[in-house]
A and B are shown apart, each in its own frame.
Chain A
């Protein structure tokens, strides 16, 4: 098939369709994923084509969705769940962290939990409370879970295939503010990059090392690429590492980049304290101590509940906050 250009959410839809076609044991489960096609229409058309046994509208109970998916997985099914919004995942937190994540280990490897949890996350869409959160650190902190987040259409499609095929539970975080961002997708050729490998973007001329390494994932990849483009216009060379995976993190790629550039800035929407940025900064310090020209800096959300929509642009990292932090790093 030729390469198509499509919005990220359509790529997820195509990816779900492929997963349902390829393995009769896959199921979609969630609130409003059937007749409605999901509140964002990500599952649009799948109920009609695969029926209510494969695309299962559930009662409105997140713990119940994850808990019953565990039982279905024990019976040999491969459930793909939707948690409708990031802020609604907490009723399922116990089933995810206490049951789903630990099942394989506590069964000494005799049970497997091939469950994919899709969840739109992050802000920037002007929504009400509890619809804009970034809870990824809670899950990355939990052994037994894999946590990934695509940032473009091709990754959205192919990382979903890899997540669904995995026999481990995978939290697949969808950058909801980028649902409508268009990108190229070749559904015929699976990229050689693995689910947990980072991808490096070097949007500047020449082969010389970057002046600084921006490290991001999900919705902040585009923000960082925009920042890099703005910096390039001023002659500053910023490379962008799209982590793609938050558990595990491809520290080898991060290390190679930062050893060359000597400067790193981690960007995510989640509040900075106790989050992925701190973990990345600590690892860079351990691995690249003698290469560093400046402390690793972080830009992210504030240690405050996600604000009402009219203030979210101030709360979320944007190009200007990224470039201001770049300036601070370069000043060392």
Chain B
């Protein structure tokens, strides 16, 4: 676990070459953000044409390509349904992933079942790939639980809402994997906003010092609620990895092929003892931060229009069509399936029962009895029963 492999950490050497490019040792000359200028790994252009990259490639079968498309369509559809359900008052809140489908599907499909995922609260696409029912996600935003799924069933941790905290949990988990001598890896999701948090820097440093098998997967969606990236950092994010002693890569986050290729490489690197990797998926939050947000107060719609041209689903659809991998009927089938999913979720959310409050509040505060919790649970039940009795007697 404490193996020093400085040659790898210094510049990604020995993995697949191109370490200098990945670690991005060139700082912007002007000291101003050079986000747009920095090189992206791209294997599929916004027009849906395949592109070559010297360091990364991926060879997906036609079936896999169709699967990636289907994943993205299904996820976008249920995400949209959740926004609608929030507008109808069925959910208290929703954090839309609109625009980030490729970043999430590509990275999640690069993982193995024994890898472990630490998500933020927007990783609905990753949850989808880890077989967490979207209905359970919606239950969390409806307020019937703080998550509701068993993280160890799918190696998918609960959503973490406090920004950046989960990156340290991911590193700790990865330290445990290394201690166990297992060859799994951990993916820690976070965003451009989280990069300002101290916990993220501590996570980078612990991972580097212990050479832990963790991939830090940053979806840079350009906005931390209303704050643009210029308010979060002055050096392109992926370059930050170099200062901590591990490779950083910037990938086109709207290109599902490039994301999967880069994440596969990063996970392999981590699993084989190479230590952590930072992947910056350069993408865009097409929707609001959450359903309570109003992006028209802080950003221009023209920016959004520009990013629409880079849509992750449209470009894969263009490829599938051009290469004759899918036809009109197949696309219609996927759309119909997505509509069926949306209906199941709509019906499921509307008929979702409220939890029993006494057990929800008191039962899992501690694993073993705690005198104060026991006392307060009993007091709550007495009070609730007294109300029920009064109601029965036709009182208040």
Minimum CB distance partner of B169 in chain A: A71
A and B contact pairs by CB, cutoff 8 A, 6 listed = A63-B199, A66-B168, A75-B172, A111-B151, A143-B365, A144-B365
Decide if B371 touches A251 in the complex (CB within 8 Å): yes
B370 interfacial contact with A, CB 8 Å:
yes
B1: A residues at CB distance < 8 A: 53
Residues B297-349 near A (CB distance < 8 A): none
Chain B count of residues within 8 A CB distance of the other chain: 45
Encode A91-110 as 1/0 by CB contact (under 8 A) with B.
10011001100001111111
Q: Does A105 contact B165, Cβ atoms closer than 8 Å?
A: no
Task: Decide yes or no whether B146 CB sits under 8 A from chain A.
Answer: yes
Majority DSSP secondary structure for residues of B touching A? helix
- What string of 1s and 0s marks CB contacts (under 8 Å) between A140-175 and chain B? 000110100000000000000000001110000000
**Contact indicator B168/A68 (Cβ below 8 Å):** yes
- Selected from A75, A107, A249, the residue in CB contact (under 8 A) with B158 is A107
Pick the contact of B364 from A52, A66, A104 — CB < 8 Å? A104
Which of these, B165, B169, B180, B371, contacts A248 with CB under 8 Å? B371
**Residues of chain A contacted by B152 (CB below 8 angstroms):** 110-111
Name B's A-contacting residues (CB within 8 A).
1-2, 118, 145-148, 150-152, 157-158, 160, 162, 165, 167-177, 179-180, 198-199, 202-203, 205-206, 209, 363-368, 370-373
Report the 8 A-B pairs with minimum CB-CB distance, sorted nearest first. A71-B172, A67-B168, A75-B176, A68-B172, A64-B202, A106-B146, A71-B173, A109-B364
Query: Does B165 contact A67, Cβ atoms closer than 8 Å?
Result: yes
Q: Are A59 and B205 neighbours in the complex by a CB distance under 8 Å? A: yes
CB distance from B190 to the nearest CB of A (A): 13
Q: How far is the CA of A53 from the CA of B146 in the complex (A)?
A: 34
A231 at the interface (CB under 8 A from B): no
Q: State whether the Cβ of A69 lies closer than 8 Å to any Cβ in chain B.
A: yes
Given contacts A70-B172, A143-B365, A251-B371, contact A61 B206 (CB under 8 A): yes
The answer to whether B366 and A106 touch across the interface, beta carbons within 8 angstroms, is: no
Q: Is B370 a contact of A248 with CB atoms below 8 Å?
A: yes
Which residues of chain B come closer than 8 Å to A94, judged between CB atoms?
162, 165, 199
Q: Which of B157, B162, B177 contacts A98 (CB 8 A)?
A: B162
Interface size on A, residues (CB 8 A): 45
A-side interface residues toward B, CB under 8 Å? 52-53, 58-59, 61, 63-64, 66-77, 91, 94-95, 98-99, 104-112, 143-144, 146, 166-168, 196, 247-251
CA of A167 to CA of B366, assembled, Å: 8
Which one of A74, A76, A91, A95 lies within 8 Å of B165 (CB-CB)?
A95
A279 CB, min distance to chain B CBs, angstroms: 10
**Complex contact B203–A64 (CB within 8 A):** yes
A25, B32: Cα distance in complex, Å: 48
B175 CB contact (under 8 Å) in A63, A72, A91, A110: A72
Q: Chain A's nearest CB lies how many Å from the CB of B132? A: 13
Contacts of A144 in B (CB 8 A): 365-366
B160 cross-chain contacts in A, Cβ below 8 A: 99
Contact A105 B364 (CB under 8 A): yes
